């Protein structure tokens, strides 16, 4: 599952980098929650939660069976 998560994050990363941000995989909980760290412009953006839930979480859930949520740590 981790390889699929990393592949999905690599697919998402260019869009975030175009806006001056980035995302790094931190880990996966037993409950299927993917933990990520947002950096650059994403770290200080007031609507980064929208990017996280509406974009990153949606894509990871679609591409990786077993992912239940995504959270920034």
> What integer pLDDT is reported at residue 48 of this predicted model?
87
* pTM for the structure as a whole: 0.92
> What integer pLDDT is reported at residue 51 of this predicted model?
87
Name the burial class of residue 24, with classes exposed (0-12), middle (13-18) and buried (19+) by CB atoms within 10 angstroms of its CB. Answer: exposed
Assess contact for 38 and 22: CB atoms under 8 A: yes
> What integer pLDDT is reported at residue 44 of this predicted model?
83
**Which CATH number do you get for residue 43?**
3.30.300.130
> What integer pLDDT is reported at residue 47 of this predicted model?
86
Q: Which of the residues in the chain have pLDDT under 70?
A: none
**Can you give the residue range of the structural domain that contains 55?**
2-72
Q: How many domains does the chain have?
A: 1
């Amino acid at each position: 599952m981790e390889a699929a998560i990393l592949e999905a994050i690599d697919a998402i990363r260019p869009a975030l980098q175009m806006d001056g941000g980035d995302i790094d995989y931190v880990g996966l909980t037993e409950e299927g929650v993917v933990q990520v760290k947002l950096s650059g412009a994403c770290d200080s953006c007031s609507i980064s939660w929208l990017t996280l839930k509406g974009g990153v979480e949606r894509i990871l859930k679609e591409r990786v069976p077993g992912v239940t949520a995504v959270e920034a740590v």
